[in-house]
């Protein structure tokens, strides 16, 4: 089943192809809750994993689709 991005009034929406988000500021969601906001540092070619860049004291962090994370941009 192909899911389409759900757009909000601000133009932000859930993204399915994470490989196209490198360098973009995104929101990471899990179970309907906002986990973090940050810049995508790297993504796998198969678009199943992203790394959000370190900022301040926060370390670089990995998020994956299999766990249920969603990326909104």
Does 2 have pLDDT greater than 90?
Answer: no
**pTM of the predicted model as reported, rounded to 2 decimal places:** 0.81
> What's the pLDDT at 11?
62
Range 62-70 contact pairs with CB under 8 angstroms and sequence separation of 24 or more: 63/28, 63/35, 65/18, 67/30, 68/30, 68/31, 69/28, 69/29, 69/30, 69/35, 70/14, 70/28, 70/29, 70/30
Residue-range domain boundaries for the chain: 14-72
% of the chain exceeding 90 in pLDDT: 75
pLDDT class of 3 with cuts at 50, 70, 90? very low
The pLDDT tens digits for 9-39 are: 456 789 999 999 999 999 999 999 999 999 9
């Amino acid at each position: 089943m192909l899911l389409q991005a759900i757009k909000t009034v601000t133009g932000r929406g859930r993204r399915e192809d994470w490989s196209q988000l490198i360098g973009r500021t995104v929101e990471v969601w899990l179970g309907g809750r906002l986990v973090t906001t940050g810049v995508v540092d790297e993504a796998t070619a198969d678009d199943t994993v992203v790394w959000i860049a370190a900022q301040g004291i926060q370390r670089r962090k990995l998020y994956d689709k299999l766990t249920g994370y969603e990326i909104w941009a």
